[in-house]
């Protein structure tokens, strides 16, 4: 990560406005994988349909976040996504 003031502001905004509200709400503990649809208040809506593309892209996004900001525990979400892909999508 670059230590310029603008880079620090961007990472802080990503943490506060995207990752902090998303992470506690994106894991589908009941059915596995990640929840697909949320409303503007980050509440799950719609059916719990899963797709290989969404599961893979979300897992990759968490892997990229974990690489860019190691330490805060994003690896847990990468492992969750990989487990879902292997168990539910690998047929």
Rounded Cα gap, residues 84 and 8, in angstroms: 33
pLDDT at 1 over 60: no
In this structure, the number of other CB atoms found within 10 A of the CB of residue 80 comes to 20
pLDDT at 78 over 80: yes
Task: Tell me whether residue 16 is exposed, middle or buried, using C-beta atoms within 10 angstroms of its C-beta: 0 to 12, 13 to 18, 19 or more.
Answer: exposed
Pick the range with the lowest mean pLDDT from 6-10, 20-24, 51-55: 20-24
The encoded tokens of residue 68 equal 């860019």
Give residue 82's pLDDT.
96
The encoded tokens of residue 69 equal 């900001």
Rounded Cα gap, residues 91 and 88, in angstroms: 8
Q: What is the pLDDT of residues 24-74, one digit of tens each?
A: 889 998 888 999 888 888 788 877 788 999 999 999 999 999 998 877 789
The encoded tokens of residue 51 equal 């797709």
Rounded Cα gap, residues 91 and 86, in angstroms: 8
């Amino acid at each position: 990560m670059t230590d310029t003031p603008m880079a620090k502001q961007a990472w802080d905004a990503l943490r506060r406005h995207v990752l902090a509200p998303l992470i506690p709400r994106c894991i589908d503990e009941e059915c596995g994988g990640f929840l697909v649809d949320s409303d503007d208040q980050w509440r799950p809506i719609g059916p719990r349909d899963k797709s290989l593309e969404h599961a893979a892209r979300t897992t990759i996004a968490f892997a990229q976040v974990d690489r860019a900001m190691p330490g805060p525990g994003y690896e847990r979400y990468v492992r969750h996504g990989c487990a879902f892909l292997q168990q539910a999508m690998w047929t």
